Amino acid sequence: MSAQIGVTGLAVMGANLARNLARNGYTVALHNRSIEKTDYLLEKHGGDGEFIRTETMQELVDSLEKPRRVLIMVKAGAPVDSVIDSLVPLLEPGDIVIDGGNSHYEDTRRREAALAAHDLHFVGVGVSGGEEGALLGPSIMPGGSREAYDSLGPMLEKISAKYNGEPCCRWIGTDGAGHFVKMVHNGIEYADMQVIGEAFDLLRSGAGIEPADQAKIFTDWNSGTLSSFLIEITAEVLGHTDARTGKPFVDVVVDAAGQKGTGRWTVVSALALGSPTSGIAESVFARALSSQTEQRVLAQGILQGHEGTVELPETFVEDVRLALYASKLVSYAQGIDMLTAAAKEYGWDLRLDEIASLWRAGCIIRAELLDDIMKAYAVAEERPANLLLTPAFAEAIAGAVPAWRRVVATAVQLGIPVPVFSASLAYYDGLRRPRLPAALTQGLRDLFGAHTYNRVDGEGTFHTLWGEDRSEIEAVDTH
């Protein structure tokens, strides 16, 4: 018996993907650096389907049909390189090495090029949905060559989540495209969670609504335009009571948010691409600030708030819902804009409608909204320059703007930090204002560094002789 695919790395994600593959009728060869995880999986879940137990990399490779498909599910970073180094000498041209971990897309680009030199395919696959998704159907974002996808794609599509019967798995693009898209997905996830947190804080600290009552509000919101997995689980977490103290669970959890790094990667990449992803950036910084526990404790005794008093409008809860919706839309718009910038930079033909389509189920940011986003990009001739410029979204966000402004102004008055609500609103205003103070920035740059500027009334690049007679000369922009 030979296996159609091998999985090496059988911690929670690898084990669940292996089980998912076996449950879908594939024979799966199992391998882990330490044999205990392999045996544990076989003992607990050996009945899920056909598995082949292997102890060494050579046994793993020998157990596979050709072209061989080996899925690496080890810790991202150096362990992936170490596994690749031990695999490559055992493989033959045409074999496919797949990395399903959260690898950085630049690592994936490097590995793809290195393996191509051995006539091996390297496929970086973004997998979202956590451990449950891996078992029951994740959202899958595969990169690598089209040829590799022809061999691997049907298997991945079969084990992926389905939205109205359609698989949440499509070939994304060459080399690191899959991991890039997964990274941006995670960036949007950070922003999505932060705007939910800001809404919670406003309802609690601003309107005094207790978590259990908020759980009902979020449940209600989940049946409208905000309908999404994250809103659904927010209601669950807010409705949970701590068994030990009888307090709301959210009150006994330390308010320092962790991060594994994909949000940070998104922001670093956005900076490198010159892509204004302020909502995602603020959400990453908000987690970082929350974790500066020592400084926060000191600041409580030193920094004055001078909060104002605000009479909340009767519509406050609805205002917060609209502000949340608008800010969330901006985060998606910024993430998608970043994908467009990356497609240009790396030569990827990213299909934004397909990417939105495979986030509709299986992944953490799954939301009703994504179906509309998919439709916004479906017709090539009508693709908007920015998601917010799609007629339906422009109208939806316009309807939210008055509430959004009220909420941000109220938050500022009350001293409640709403970094993503306010950064998103600033982005929205920055996009729509006919003039920005960037003109002054250009003037300053020209004065101190002769960086030159363009004029509103004609072609050409100019420099003013600030230190001389302030006459203007035409300049060749060398900066």
Kindly list the residues in this chain that would bind ligand NBP in the complex (CB under 6 A): 9-14, 32-34, 37, 73-76, 79, 82-83, 101-102, 127, 130-131
162 in a labelled binding site: no
Which tokens is 171 given?
A: 């070939």
33 in a labelled binding site: yes
DSSP 375-441: HHTTSGGG--SSGGGSHHHHHHHHHHHHHHHHHHHHHHHHT---HHHHHHHHHHHHHH-S--THHHH
- Min dist. Cβ of residue 238 to ligand NBP (A): 22
296 in a labelled binding site: no
What's the CA dihedral at 209, 210, 214, 216 to 10 degrees? -110
- Min dist. Cβ of residue 15 to ligand NBP (A): 7
Beta strand 96-99 pairing with 69-72: parallel
- Min dist. Cβ of residue 53 to ligand NBP (A): 15
- Min dist. Cβ of residue 266 to ligand NBP (A): 15
223 in a labelled binding site: no
- Nearer Cβ to ligand NBP, position 183 or 370? 183
In the chain, what is the greatest distance between 2 CA atoms, to the nearest angstrom? 86
12 in a labelled binding site: yes
Q: Specify the 3-state DSSP secondary structure of 473.
A: strand
Cβ atoms 95, 70 nearer than 8 A: yes
- Nearer Cβ to ligand NBP, position 9 or 211? 9
Cβ atoms 453, 443 nearer than 8 A: yes
- Nearer Cβ to ligand NBP, position 11 or 392? 11
- Min dist. Cβ of residue 33 to ligand NBP (A): 3
235 in a labelled binding site: no
Cβ atoms 474, 454 nearer than 8 A: no
- Min dist. Cβ of residue 362 to ligand NBP (A): 11
Q: Which residues pair with 53 in a beta bridge?
A: 30
32 in a labelled binding site: yes
For ligand NBP, which residue has the nearest CB? 101
Closest CA to 421 of 203, 219, 247, 194: 194
Cβ atoms 134, 20 nearer than 8 A: yes
DSSP 255-283: S-----SHHHHHHHHHHHHT---HHHHHH
Q: Which residues pair with 71 in a beta bridge?
A: 7, 98
190 in a labelled binding site: yes
Report, as residue numbers or ranges, the catalytic residues.
182, 189
- Nearer Cβ to ligand NBP, position 265 or 427? 265
Identity (one letter) of the amino acid at 152?
A: L
186 Cβ contact partners less than 8 Å away, ≥ 6 residues apart: 102, 128, 262, 263, 266
287 in a labelled binding site: yes
Edge-to-edge strand order for the sheet containing 461-464? 453-454, 461-464, 472-474
Closest CA to 221 of 319, 115, 77, 75: 319
- Min dist. Cβ of residue 189 to ligand NBP (A): 11
Binding-site members for substrate are 102, 128-130, 185-186, 190, 260, 287, 445, 451
Binding-site members for NADP(+) are 9-14, 32-34, 74-76, 102
Binding-site members are 9-14, 32-34, 74-76, 102, 128-130, 185-186, 190, 260, 287, 445, 451
